[in-house]
Amino acid sequence: MIVTLTVNGELRSASVPPETTLLVMLREHLHLTGAKTGCDVGDCGACTVIVDGLAVNACLMLAAQADGRTVTTIEGLATREGLHPLQKVFEETGALQCGFCGPGVIMTSKALLDHTPEPTPQEIRTALTGNLCRCTGYVKMIEGVQEAAAMMRSPQS
Q: How far is the CB of 47 from ligand FES (least distance, A)?
A: 3
Q: How far is the CB of 155 from ligand FES (least distance, A)?
A: 32
The sheet with strand 54-57 has its strands ordered as 10-15, 2-7, 70-72, 48-51, 54-57
* Residues of the shown chain interacting with ligand FES in the complex, contacts defined by CB under 6 A: 37-40, 42-47, 57, 59
Tell me how many helices (H) and strands (E) the chain has: 5, 5
Closest to ligand FES by CB, 64 vs 152, is 64
Closest to ligand FES by CB, 94 vs 98, is 98
Q: How far is the CB of 129 from ligand FES (least distance, A)?
A: 12
Residue, CB closest to ligand FES: 59
